[in-house]
Amino acid sequence: MAMGRPRAFDREAALDRAMDVFWRKGYEGATLAELTREMGINPPSLYAAFGNKEGLFTAALDRYSARIESYLREILAAPTAREVVSRMLHGKADYLTDPANPPGCLYVQGGLACGEDAKNVPAELARRRARAEVALRERFEQASAEGDLPPDAVPAVLASLVMTLIQGMDVRASAGATREDLHSLVDLALAGLFPPPAAAPTSDG
């Protein structure tokens, strides 16, 4: 009797499981044995579908990036720069502390403690983070042109600052910060970045 073809696996479901392992363990800490076990496939199937561990990581990142970029497009459509930053930071606080997700962010967690054999991984993660910063800078440039930011605001610096806050939140969440902790930090940051306009002086006469 002829042998049947190997049973195909659900690529998207397998990538979600691989993403979870990379997210929890980082690229270096995720072993092939754990990846194949969680994905429900054997090593030959992994190599046939993704080439190698780095190819699998890139595919998992692509899936993660698609989610992040879809969410980012919604945020950037907010009517004001302040609302963009508020939605981004408060949304990040919720996302980082969602019990359905591993702690922190895959863009940060994935590149921790990479050795020489994985030297491309941190650079790839940095490139993906940079795409979000570029999109944010362009949105602030639009806000500046529309008079929605103070004349002395520098869109590139503001975008860099927001991304720095986000990366700091990633680290804090990984260290156990609660949702309430992160939202408090966001409120403080928003008050500093977008202070309410000064009240007009009143006349005593």
Q: pLDDT class for 189, splitting at 50, 70, 90?
A: very high
Q: pLDDT class for 140, splitting at 50, 70, 90?
A: very high
Worst-scoring range by mean pLDDT, 83-87, 107-111, 126-130? 107-111
Whole-model pTM: value is 0.81
Which domains, ranges and CATH numbers included, belong to the chain? 11-193 (1.10.357.10)
Cβ–Cβ < 8 Å for 57, 125: no
E-assigned strands of the chain? none
Instruction: Report helix, strand or coil for 1.
Output: coil
* pLDDT tens readout for residues 108-124: 777 665 555 667 787 88
Q: What is the pLDDT of residue 8?
A: 65
Query: What integer is the mean pLDDT of 175-186?
Result: 94
